[in-house]
Amino acid sequence: MYGGLRGIELAGILLVALAGFILPHLLPGYFLYTGNMLLTYAILAIGLDLLLGRTGQFAFAHIAFFGIGIYGTALLESRVGIPFVLAMPIAACIAGAIGFLIGFPAARLKAVYLALATYAFAECAQWVFRTWDPVTGGPDGLRFPPPVIFGYQTGTDRSAFPVVAIILALVLAATLYLTKSKLGRHMCAIRDSEHVAAVSGIDVRRVKVIAFTVSAVFAGIAGGTYTLFQSFINADVLGAAQLVTVLTMIVIGGSGSIIGVLFGVVVIGLLPEVLRAMPQSLLVWQEFVYGAILVAAIVFMPQGLWGLVKPRLEARRAPKPARVAEAIRTQPKVSL
Amino acid sequence: MFLQAVLSGIVMGCVYALIALSLVLIYKSTDVVNFAAGEFVMIAGYAGLFLLDWFHLNYAVMVVLAIVLVAVFGALFERTALNRIIGFKYNAEAALVPMVVATIGLSFVLKGVVRVIPSTEEVLRLPPLFGGPPVFLGDLVLQRQDIGIVVVAVLVMVALSLGFNFTATGKALRATSQNPRAAALIGIPVRRMRMLAWGLASALAGISGILLSPKLLMTPDMGSVVMLGIAASIIGGFTSLVGCVVGGIVLGVVQNLVGIFLSPQAIAVTPFFIIMLVLVVRPNGLFGEAMRLKKV
Amino acid sequence: MSRNKIAGCIIGGLVALAASTGARAEPGVTDNEILIGMFGPLSGPLIAYGIDPVAASKMMYEEANKKGGVHGRKIRLIVEDDKCNPNDIVSVVKKFVTVDQVFMLHGGSCTGAVSAAADYINREKVPYAMLNAAGDNAVFPPTRYVFGSFQGTQRTYAAAFATFAAQQLKAKRAAVIVHDDEYGKANAAMAKATFEKLGVTVATIERIPPNISDVTAPLLKIREAKPDVILSGAYPAPAVLIAQKYAEFGMTAIPLLQSAQGIPTPSVFAKNVANPDALQNFYYTWAFNDIGDAAVRTKYISLFKAYNDNREPGPFMMSGIPSAVAVIAALEAAGRDLTREGFVASMEKLNVKDDFMPGPIEFGPKRRDAARTMVIIKYDGKSQKVMPGTYTWDGVEAN
């Protein structure tokens, strides 16, 4: 791992976990529900960012894996009787396995074609969720009981919030570990130029397939957390609209960086709630305003919010020449 | 029954082809997929309907006005919004994701604007250009508007193909997408070409709107037909104009056959399944050029 | 967010905090007001099903307030937009219950979305009356706190149609075309069960996606099946396409029965179909008396206009009335000493018959769907004729 976990990153992770324990005692259920949804979307968005922002693969199948995670966890718990602590990882692995399988053909596709093929896969998955009556309940959807984790009963927003926060903290740690590893460097290399990466000796196809798999696993985990505080799922919430939401969270926040993605999750996640508070006669303008904000944001900040903030932060933190020399001298040797 | 399914499939195929033509036109000229293409079609339909209902214009005048309105809007959108995203990088591929988000945002904006108008709550219908009783070929039925759609689709395809291959402007448009930097160096006004491409494609979407609204019925969500247009263009090859029509017809016919021999329930998933299949097995579709390897 | 709303949230949060520490009076009830959380699709694709019904419910509450309220308490509404989206509904409901501390919930136009919130509502023991959702999945099996289907369930529509087809039209073979969502599923199941009970063969059931743009395939299959009657549960746009294609394929001798949700405004429907032949044998179900009785129609339209700046109401306005009337009646019956449990008990005993619907609004200890009576209307593109008799579902499930 290059560089290890910086102090600030560790602090961030601990903060998330801590907030998970403190906030339920301070806030009413509605805010905790919103918080739970934001945390779940954060896991989703970080997973997609690994694929999109870090490896440069414009793949939009993510929601399908989210759905597999939700249905998988719910079915394993209610039909097979497996407890949540096992059901969620198993469901995430199933999602990962399917991600692995589509990774191979996907690795051969570029840019727009990849986007369209993976989007088509997501639509097919939604259709399967909607029509596979015996397993998914078809259009009627699935009701599932609240999971119990080693005797701790979840199901309400208050009880689920700490668990979801801890899962997010773990996901953040895993992501940081991944991005600072050699694999993470390879992913960035592929994003910046596939051609050069291949010529430099990186097994491009292998890295891409791994990226697809890991991204799918994260989406599966997000699906598992969804079952902690919701009690019902049907295909309606697993479609193009949700895909667009996750995509815009990444793009508006700043793809390729965890902080940027988390920014985006909060902003885009809260935007509909803010818009809904408009006076009643203006409610019908919500869609228009949302779209206008999206277009304006992307036109004026193509690098996202974090892309706007980061250069200013870095300018302030610019190291003095002596420290640069010191850093170069003490850097561990890097092998290709 | 089989023949009727095929015939209706051909007609629907040309519906998809018209939308695909607009998509491919933009893609061939600017390397961008316009996910708001369906909404352009929708806007043209509604603009036409309101021009007829509120101002009582002559149908022909309405058609021209609606097309011009949408074309101008498209060109303006390109010039103000999309141009800034690409900026001076000239490289559309790097800006793919922001472009996608921008066109998706545009589709929300257009849908939102239409939905604000109270009368759009109901399903509406633009009177067809070619009205009158249906035409009978033995047992088979065909609406006059359907014939119009097929004829226009083929005509547009021919016109665009000829334009792209044999006129200076057409070649300039192709150059702009293949290598914008080189095109600029030769003296092609890249930004103006892009605006022209969007204006043309929007005008084409406008024509589609006028022709298709009577058939598809107008709701603010009718833009979702864009996915079928995308499927059609993928089957035919994303850079081929002829492919749009052929691909559209293939898609339309296959959908109907699936509906008859499998179940109408499977109709919804057929275009997506086909997109996946084609892109995995033969990404260039039936007539498309091979993906060019972009330089580092 | 506007400042007032932010202040409201903070105050609400503090109140919730204070309230969560110990027992006290019933939430949402003070000496002079009852707080009700209302929601429906006020934006988005299903806006037509929400805007007017919400306005209609509001107007009924205002009328009650004008007469002095309920046992001296005025009814105050907080209205939120749910876009018929499951996640939005859950969010709005949780806000109402935990931040605004409403007494009860009243809203919802979409069955699928409503089902998402049902578990939470039952767990928190908050009384909930649907707005105009058919709500099949949320009232079968019935749960204590969810009261719904004020304009009839899909089961009711299907049973009414099937009975009419068998008894009045003397059909022997039927074709059914529905969407492949939860609506269509319930519709098809009950139609099939009722037909079989009445000795009618179901020749084919075609399931189509809600956003279908070409109905050639399903209609060709129906033509092949040679039915005596066609039942359609389609939504507005596909309903028009079906009527057009059925005429195009020369099937107009076969009666076409269309469910109410696909035909919001009959005159607009006829204009869209643009083919008078298609409507020679066309019928639809309706849960209200405004078509059959001009006096009822005028009464409620003028009332609506009075409360809404003289705006002409859209087609679904009537569907906002029964739920409000039921809630007001149950609040009255529950007495001055108002509690949530007391309200639920009164709702269970409710049996209200008023001028706007052909049948009563009725619940029971094991019954949570209010309306089971429909009328059938024959529409030829110019005039509407109410067919004699009303059609009441007997409450027997399909399987």
Of A175 and B180, which is predicted with more confidence?
A175
The residue-averaged pLDDT of C373-378 equals 92
Contact C217, C274 (CB under 8 A): no
Burial B99-109 (b: 16+ CB within 10 A, else e): bbbbbbbbbbb
Close Cβ partners of A175 (under 8 Å, ≥ 6 residues apart): A46, A50, A258
Tokens linked to A62: 């993510």
Domains parsed from chain B with CATH numbers:
2-281 (1.10.3470)
Query: Closest by alpha carbon to A246, among A226, A227, A219, A274?
Result: A219
What is the structure's pLDDT at C5? 62
Q: Which residues of C touch B252 (CB under 8 A)?
A: 214
Mutation choice for C interface testing from B2, B6, B217, B258 by most C CBs within 10 A: B217
Span C339-345, average pLDDT: 94
> Residues C64, C115: one domain?
yes
On whether both C147 and C278 belong to a single domain, the answer is no
Range scoring the smallest mean pLDDT among B70-74, B265-269, C226-230, C366-370: B265-269
Other CB atoms within 10 Å distance of the CB of residue C149:
30
Please give the pLDDT value at position C8.
58
In whole angstroms, give the CA distance from residue C241 to residue C235. 10
- Choose the mutation target among B117, B144, B265, B269 for the interface with C, i.e. most C CBs under 10 Å: B265
- Asked whether residue B179 carries a pLDDT value surpassing 80, the answer given is no
The count of other CB atoms within 10 Å of the CB of residue A43 is: 28
In chain A, which residue's Cα lies nearest the Cα of B279? A117
Residue A310 in this model has a pLDDT that exceeds 90: no
| pLDDT bucket at B91, cuts 50 / 70 / 90 | low
Does one domain contain both C175 and C35?
no
**Do C148 and C158 share a domain, yes or no?**
no
Q: Does the pLDDT at position B34 exceed 80?
A: yes
Please name which of A263, A269, A266 lies closest in space to residue A242, comparing C-alpha atoms: A269
Q: Based on the domain organization, do C309 and C360 belong to the same domain? A: yes
Give the CATH number for residue C384.
Answer: 3.40.50.2300
User: Based on the structure, what is the number of domains in chain C?
Assistant: 2
Nearest to C49 by CA among C320, C399, C384: C320
How deeply is C173 buried, as exposed, middle or buried, from its count of CB atoms within 10 A (0-12, 13-18, 19+)? middle
Residue C72: is it exposed, middle or buried by C-beta count within 10 angstroms (0-12/13-18/19+)?
exposed
How many angstroms separate the CA atoms of C299 and C282, rounded? 28
CB B27 within 8 A of CB B33: yes
Q: Which chains touch C (3 or more CB pairs under 8 A)?
A: A, B
Of A22-31, A294-303, C227-236, the one with minimum mean pLDDT is: A294-303
Q: Which of C217, C249, C272 sits opposite B264 (nearest CB)?
A: C217
Q: Say if residue C23 is in the same domain as residue C145.
A: yes
Provide the angle, in degrees to the nearest 10, between the axes of the packed helices A258-276 and C86-95. Answer: 70
Interchain pair A124, B104: CB under 8 A: no
Q: Output the pLDDT for position B139.
A: 79
Residue C243 inside a domain? The answer is: yes
pLDDT single digits (tens) A179-198:
999 999 999 999 888 888 99
DSSP one-letter code for B136: E
Q: Are C303 and C105 within 8 A, CB to CB?
A: no
Instruction: Please report the residues numbered 245 through 274 in chain C whose beta carbons come closer than 8 angstroms to any beta carbon of chain A.
Output: none
Q: Does the CB of C43 have a partner CB in chain B at under 8 Å?
A: yes
Q: What is the pLDDT of residue B292?
A: 54
Do residue C162 and residue C282 come from a single domain?
Answer: yes
Distance CA C320, CA A317 (A): 61
**Spatial CA neighbour of B23 closest among B101, B82, B103, B114:** B103
pLDDT at C25: 74
Q: What's the pLDDT score for residue B296?
A: 38
Task: Note the pLDDT of residue B295.
Answer: 46
Contact A231 C88 (CB under 8 A): no
Cα angle for residues A228, A232, A238 (degrees, 5° grid): 95
User: For residue A251, what is the nearest residue in chain B, using CA coordinates?
Assistant: B98
**So what's the pLDDT on residue A335?**
62
Cis, bond preceding B214 (omega within 30 deg of 0): no
B105-139: pLDDT as tens digits: 999 999 999 988 888 888 888 888 887 788 888 87
Predicted confidence (pLDDT) at residue B163 exceeds the cutoff of 90 = no
Confidence of residue B39 (pLDDT cuts 50, 70, 90): very high
Domain that residue C87 falls in: 3-152+296-368
Q: Are residues C134 and C218 in the same domain?
A: no
* C180 and C323 co-located in one domain: no
Instruction: Give pLDDT, residue B89.
Output: 55
Instruction: Tell me, yes or no, if B264 comes closer than 8 A to chain C by beta carbon.
Output: yes
Contact A47, A168 (CB under 8 A): no
Does B267 sit within 8 Å of C211, measured CB to CB?
Answer: no
Q: Domain extents for chain A?
A: 7-239
The answer to whether A9 touches A15, Cβ cutoff 8 Å, is no
Question: Would you call C332 an interface residue with chain B, using a CB distance cutoff of 8 Å?
Answer: no
- Counting every residue written for chain A, the total comes to 336
pLDDT of A254 over the 70 cut:
yes
Residue A31: closest CA among chain C residues belongs to which residue?
C95
- Do C146 and C231 sit in the same domain of this protein? no
- Of chain C, the percentage scoring pLDDT greater than 70 comes to 94
What integer pLDDT is reported at residue C206 of this predicted model?
93
Q: What is the 3-class SS of C115-165, one letter each residue? A: HHHHHHHHHHCCCEEECCCCCHHHHCCCCCCEEECCCCCHHHHHHHHHHHH
Residue C56 pLDDT greater than 90, yes or no: yes
Report A:54-93 residues touching B (Cβ under 8 A).
58
Phi/psi of residue C384, nearest 5 degrees: -115, 135
State the average pLDDT for chain C: 89
The whole-chain average pLDDT of chain A stands at 89
pLDDT at position B246, please?
92
| Same domain assignment for residues C24 and C171 | no
Asked if the model's pLDDT at residue C139 lies above 60, the reply is yes
Q: What is the pLDDT of residue C15?
A: 59
| ipTM of the predicted assembly exceeds 0.85 | yes
The DSSP annotation for C247-291 comes to: HHTT-TTS-EEE-GGG-SSHHHHHHHH--GGGGTTEEEEESSSTT
C182 and C69 inside one domain: no
